[in-house]
Amino acid sequence: MPPPGNSQPSQPTLYEIRVQGHLRPEWATWFDGLTMEIRGEHTLLTGPVADQSALYGLLKRVRNLGLPLLAVNQIGTDVEEEK
């Protein structure tokens, strides 16, 4: 159900989450299908996030791994545009 005053259901938002260190490929499934890319000394997680609650859940997983969070960036709202 959309929030009051919003007649459109919310669409996933594209996010980029950068963490210090390298995540092994096995962790990809733990991050709900986000794309994982190693860049230098960082790991970049990119993909659609359903809503703020899902984003907080992803950030909690980063915290549970003990990896320093470097950045969280919203990079778009049109998931189809990125395909």
User: How large is the average pLDDT for residues 70-80?
Assistant: 84
* pTM of this prediction exceeds 0.75: yes
The two structure tokens encoding residue 68: 């320093």
Question: What domains can you pick out in the chain, each with its CATH number?
Answer: 13-77 (3.30.70.600)
The burial of 72, by beta-carbon neighbours within 10 Å (0-12 exposed, 13-18 middle, 19 or more buried), is given as middle
Q: Is the pLDDT of residue 76 over 50?
A: yes
| Per-residue model confidence as pLDDT tens digits over 11-64 | 899 999 999 999 988 888 888 779 999 999 999 999 999 999 999 999 999 999
pLDDT at residue 79, as a whole number = 58
The two structure tokens encoding residue 35: 């794309």
